[in-house]
Amino acid sequence: MLKNIDINKIKRFLFGSRSSYGAIFTIVLYLLLIALGFVYLYPLLFMFVTSLKSPTDLLNPMVQWIPTEVYTGNYVKAWRVLSYPNTLVNSILVSVIPSLIQAAVCSVIGYGLARYRFKGKGLIFALIMATFIIPAQNTAIPQMLTFKRLGLLGNVFAIILPALFGQGYRSAIFILIFYQTFMSLPKVLEEAARLDGASDLKVFLLVGLPAAVPAFIVSIIFSTVWYWNESYLTLMFLEGGVQTLPMQLAKFTQAYENLYPSGMVNIFDRLNEAVKLAGTFLNILPLLVMYFVLQKWFVESVEMTGITGE
C-alpha cells in the first residue's frame, strides 16, 4: 500500500498531473527553449565575443568563445571610425523627433476614425492599409525631388515632414494602435463630458488622450526603434547631410580606410572582423539599453494596445 502511493507520487512528479506538467516535461521544455534561445542569439553572442578579441586571438584557432584577454582596442577604433558621439546624437534626433510627432499625429487620426462616423471612412481605412504595403521606392524619388526643391535634403525635416502629415515610417500600424485604443474607450465617458458642455476637441484632449497613454508609449518606442533602424529613406533623404549610426556603419570599411590607410599602419591595425563587429555592437548598444530598460513595454505591447483584436 505504502509502496503504491510512493510510485504514484513519483509518477506524478515525473509525468505531471492535472495541476502541473511534471518534471520530465518541464526539463524538456527548458532544454528546448535554451537551445532555441542560444541559436537565436548566436549572432549576437558571436558578435560580442569577437569584438573583444585582440588581433592575436583572432588568428589563434584555439580561442573560440573565451578571449585570452579583454581587448578594448577594437572599440577604440570603431568609436573613432563611426565618429561615435556625433552620429549617436544624430541617430537619436532622427529617430526620436519624428516618432514623437508621428505618435501625436496618429493619435488624432486614430481618434477621428474610431469616434466618428463619416462618409468614405472605409476608403480611408483601405488607403491607410495601402500605405503599409506600398514599397518606399515607389514614392521616394519624387519625394526626394520635392525635398531638394525645398532645400531640405540632408536635413532632419525631410524625415519629420511626412511624419507630421501622418505619412511617417509605418504610420499605418500606429494609426491602427490608436484606433483600437479609442474604439475600446466607453462612449459613456464621452457623453458625460458632452453633457458638461465639452467641445469635440476638449473631449479628445480630456477624455481620449488620458486613456491612450499606453498606446502613446508603445507607439513612441516602436516608432523610435523603427526609425533608428530604417536605412533606405535615411540614405535617400539624409545622405550628404546628417549622418546616422546605421548610415556610418554601412560605409564602415571606407571610413576605416580614411582613418587608418592600409599602407600606413602596421598589420595589427588593419581592418579585421573584430573591429567591424565592435562597430556593429556600438550601433545596436543604445537600442539594447533601451530594450532592457523598457522591455515590459516591448513584449507586452500587443496586449496593451489590443492591436490583434479585429
Partner 1 sequence: MKATNRTPKKGFHLTLRARENLYGYAFVMIWIVGFVIFTLVPLVQTFQFSLNKVTVTATGIEMVPVQWANYSRALFTDPTFVSLLIEYAIETLVSVPIVIIFSMIIALFLNLKFKLKGFFRTIFFLPVVITSGPVIQELVAQGTTSVPGIADSTGITVVLAQLPSYLRGPVEYLLTSFILILWFSGVQILIYLSSLQKIDQSIYEAAAIDGASAWESFWKITLPSLSTTTLINAIYTIITLSHFSENKVIKYIYNQTYAVQGGFGYAGAMSYLFFLVLLLLLGITALVLSPRSGKKR
Map the footprint of partner 1 across residues 107-136, applying CB under 8 A: 108-109, 111-113, 115-119, 121, 124, 127-128, 131-136
Alpha-carbon span 221 to 103, nearest angstrom: 10
Write the binding mask 68 to 97 for partner 1: x where contact by CB under 8 A, - elsewhere.
------------------------------
Cβ–Cβ under 8 Å, residues 249 and 283: yes
- Does position 231 bind partner 1 by CB under 8 A? yes
Q: Which is nearer to partner 1, 56 or 137 (CB)?
A: 137
Q: Which is nearer to partner 1, 140 or 269 (CB)?
A: 140
Cβ–Cβ under 8 Å, residues 181 and 305: yes
Q: Which is nearer to partner 1, 166 or 264 (CB)?
A: 166
Out of 155, 211, 225, 260, the residue judged to bind partner 1 by CB under 8 A: 225
Cβ–Cβ under 8 Å, residues 190 and 115: yes
CA distances from 10 to 4, 15, 18, 30 (A): 10, 8, 15, 20
Out of 138, 240, 261, 263, the residue judged to bind partner 1 by CB under 8 A: 138
| Residue whose C-alpha cell reads 520530465 in the numeric block | 24
Out of 60, 86, 137, 184, the residue judged to bind partner 1 by CB under 8 A: 137
Of 81, 297, 126, 107, give the one whose Cα is nearest residue 207.
Answer: 107
- Does position 155 bind partner 1 by CB under 8 A? no
Contacts to partner 1 from residues 19-38, by CB under 8 A = 21, 26, 29-30, 32-33, 36-37
- Does position 44 bind partner 1 by CB under 8 A? yes
- Does position 217 bind partner 1 by CB under 8 A? no
Q: How many helices (H) and strands (E) does the chain have?
A: 19, 0
Alpha-carbon span 136 to 45, nearest angstrom: 33
Closest distance of CB 73 from partner 1, Å: 18
Q: Which residues contact 85 (CB under 8 A, 6 or more apart)?
A: none
Write the binding mask 264 to 303 for partner 1: x where contact by CB under 8 A, - elsewhere.
---------x--xx-xx--xx--xx-xxx--x--xx-xxx
